[in-house]
Amino acid sequence: MATSGSQLPEPIGRFQLKPPASILLYARQNPVSQAVLRRWANALGIAGYQVFHTIASQPGDQIPLPAPIQMIISFGGDGTLLDTVCIAVRRQIPVLSVNTGRLGFLSLFSPAQIQEVIRLLQSGGLQLTYRLILQVRALSNQEGVRIRRFACPWALNDVVFFRGNTPNMLTIHVQLPNHETIGVYRGDGLIIATPTGSTAYSLSCGGPILPPNTHAFLLTPIASHNLTLRPLVMPGDARVQVVVQTDRSWQLTIDARAYPWTGEAAYEVWLADHRFPLLLPPSFSYFRLLRTRLFWALDSRDYYAGGARENERTNGSKWHSG
């Protein structure tokens, strides 16, 4: 589903997929993930679905499509899910992620939930949400030559300009297309993050958390040499031009895909018109996810030896609207 301007599609819908629909199962070279994939492939086959599967030889591999696919299931952690972004965005194929990793902020289904997922697929019980993504393109140099083109220009989490292995800090000039300066970032680099990516690398660098349906993106400095440069929330219809000023090597990453470079380069980054279709459990709550995965707003005064206080058990308030 594509949109224009700042219009955002309905964040929540319902997804139903009945046999004999085609499902692609995807995992990296991880024995645990591959074992879970095989169990799910067997159960989905018994349920009547056409099942295809692929194993990446290394992270970031392009995922081949063996046939027309109506759904993708990834097995691993959030990094494995990011491998599916390019194909899911280009073909608008919904993705469900099974967590065989650690934290799993986007991978919200457990390996044991296969029969529940089959039931939800057939009944239309899964939530379908469209996540904002970033798009990046290289700007032309003074000779009018664009120095790089990306086969996949989209990022679900973030676009990162990083000094890489060099010990020297980067100087990054960020401006609007009309050449109005936003700031000059001197330090280890700069993260441009989506609301989904606000709980990833950006958060560890002091960036704020944006709920997924917030039409905005973040500029978060990495180890800034200037203490007055703080994370900045940009409006969703903005475009930023990022000029890396250095004669040394550095690295650009688009989600987990790394692009090393040497010398100066300029890029433009903005929120794409396309969205990433992500499947979630029927009872999904973003703020409950923050509490359970990141221990958001956890305060030891709210707990005692017998368990949570009453306000937590009753969802925090006796007051109601209406």
Which candidate, 127, 142, 60, 62, places its Cα nearest to that of 95? 127
* Residues near 63 by beta carbon (within 8 Å), at least 6 away in sequence: 24, 26, 54, 56, 83, 84, 86, 87
Structure tokens at 305: 């030896």
37 by DSSP, 3-state: which?
helix
Among candidate residues 61, 78, 188, 299, the one labeled active-site is: 78
Instruction: Write phi, then psi, for 55 (nearest 5 degrees).
Output: -120, 125
Euclidean distance between CA atoms 5 and 21, whole angstroms: 34
Closest CA to 185 of 230, 147, 149: 230
Whether the CB-CB separation of 221 and 229 falls below 8 Å is answered with: yes
Question: Two tokens at 153?
Answer: 């220009």
Give the C-alpha separation, 64 to 129, whole Å.
24
Locate 116 and state its tokens: 């529940």
Residue 83 appears among annotated catalytic residues: no
What CA–CA distances, in Å, run from 314 to 308, 309, 310, 322? 10, 9, 6, 18
CA 42 – CA 310 distance, rounded (Å): 44
DSSP 178-228: T--EEEEEEESEEEEE-TGGGGTHHHHTTPPP--TT-SEEEEEEES-SSTT
Q: What are phi and psi of 74, to 5 degrees?
A: -100, 145
- H/E stretch holding 81: helix 78-83
Question: What amino acid positions are annotated as catalytic residues?
Answer: 78
